[in-house]
Amino acid sequence: EDQVTQSPEALRLQEGESSSLNCSYTVSGLRGLFWYRQDPGKGPEFLFTLYSAGEEKEKERLKATLTKKESFLHITAPKPEDSATYLCAVQIGGGYQKVTFGIGTKLQVIP
Amino acid sequence: NAGVMQNPRHLVRRRGQEARLRCSPMKGHSHVYWYRQLPEEGLKFMVYLQKENIIDESGMPKERFSAEFPKEGPSILRIQQVVRGDSAAYFCASSPPGLNNGPLHFGNGTRLTVT
């Protein structure tokens, strides 16, 4: 069965304290891995897509990387506005964009 | 998220009533996905529709739940005879035609409360 596991479930950082979130997956035929950010009461907001091992994407203080078994979301010098739940999702074969989500990492950045 | 419009944002129903959730995809998108998010759980796939067709309903409960995406108008997720366990946030996402990978674009969801 395809599985997506995110860790830690919750993370509390001081402003400026860099860290990484992990997403490990056991799927056959990965077509893409996605990172989303979700704020309370809102829908997931797309951040990154990664398609192959070794690929990296960056946006402001966030950097996503992908290996054959896991992905990391690195947060450099976070600010309070980075507080949110970060979701990882994988797309497998099938010819359309159905994705399976992990449960997420709830990040809190303290000023 | 402004592109995918869902309404209502909040819906309260008594046990046994019907709930209708609407989703208008982003302009130019003709594929719609419905997901459910229970408290303290991840987003779970329910159904994938194209205009006038249900393509994959493998995540949708066999009873009481149905979905449609007519030629004209929004996609509708319908829950008949709601029970307390149906209380959740329901999210709709859309994608353009002819694209087999790439991100889904989500709306801000409908929060259903069953009393």
A14-29 tens-digit pLDDT: 999 999 999 999 987 8
Taking an 8 Å cut-off on Cβ atoms, the answer to whether B109 and A103 are in contact is no
End-to-end CA distance of chain A: 41
Count of other CB atoms within 10 angstroms of residue A29 = 10
Interface residue B54 vs chain A (CB under 8 A): no
What are the percentages of helix, strand and coil residues in chain A, rounded to 5?
5, 55, 40
Instruction: Report whether pLDDT(B1) > 50.
Output: no
Whole-angstrom distance, CA of residue A51 vs CA of residue B101: 10
Query: How far A17 CA lies from chain B's nearest CA (Å)?
Result: 26
Given an 8 Å threshold on Cβ–Cβ distance, is B108 in contact with A41? yes
pLDDT in tens, B27-73: 888 899 999 999 878 899 999 999 899 999 999 999 999 999 999 99
**A1 pLDDT tier (thresholds 50, 70, 90):** low
- For residues B91 and A61, what is the distance between their CA atoms, to the nearest angstrom? 27
- Could you read off the pLDDT of A25-51 as tens digits, one per residue? 998 788 899 999 999 999 999 999 999
